[in-house]
Amino acid sequence: MFLNQIDIEFYDKNLSEATKETYHSKIKKIKEYLEYKQMKNITCSQITNEFVIKFLDYLRYTKKLGSRTRDNYYTFIVTLTKWMIDKKYLLENPCEGIKKIHRKKNDKQTIPKEIKEEFFTYYQETNPNYFV
């Protein structure tokens, strides 16, 4: 049902094609996990905190996906389970207490204002068409 609604939202131009494809891909990976665990006939009530943790661990440690990819799946599961709660398929949030993997801080630095102004002045003088 979730994917049917996603498809309708896409056709009504409420979702991008990239989002639609991402959701389909994520559901496919959940189905692969269910087959791997031999859980083909799962009910909504079986989507528990433990289930979500084990699925995310499967992605990270069995499938050897990176931490960012694992976190993207976590974000999708949060979206999916929120939809399930809104539709009354779930009573509780199974993602409660699960966190994204802590990644090291980005080493990027912002360019100081003075240097930006120097670049601006330089290009304004040497290549005024750059600003057209």
Give domain status of residue 119, yes or no. Answer: no
Give domain status of residue 131, yes or no. Answer: no
- What string of DSSP letters covers the chain? -HHHHHHHHHHTTSS-HHHHHHHHHHHHHHHHHHHHTT--S--GGG--HHHHHHHHHIIIIIS---HHHHHHHHHHHHHHHHHHHHTTS-SS-TTTT--PPPPPPP---PPPHHHHHHHHHHHHHH-GGGG-
Give domain status of residue 78, yes or no. Answer: yes
Range of the domain at 29: 2-102
Give domain status of residue 118, yes or no. Answer: no
Q: Tell me the residue length of the chain.
A: 132
Calculate what percentage of the chain has a pLDDT beyond 70.
Answer: 89
Tokens 């204002």 appear where? 113
Q: Which residues contact 71 (CB under 8 A, 6 or more apart)?
A: 100, 101
Give domain status of residue 9, yes or no. Answer: yes
Calculate what percentage of the chain has a pLDDT beyond 90.
Answer: 53
Give domain status of residue 26, yes or no. Answer: yes
Is the sign of the CA dihedral 55, 57, 60, 61 positive or negative? negative
- Split into its structural domains, the chain has a count of 1
Instruction: Report the CATH number that the domain containing residue 18 is assigned in CATH.
Output: 1.10.150
Give domain status of residue 6, yes or no. Answer: yes
Give domain status of residue 23, yes or no. Answer: yes
Q: What pLDDT, in 10s, does the model give residues 82-125? A: 999 999 999 999 999 999 997 766 677 888 888 888 888 887 88
pTM confidence score = 0.70
pLDDT at 51: 96
At 123, give phi and psi (nearest 5°): -70, -30
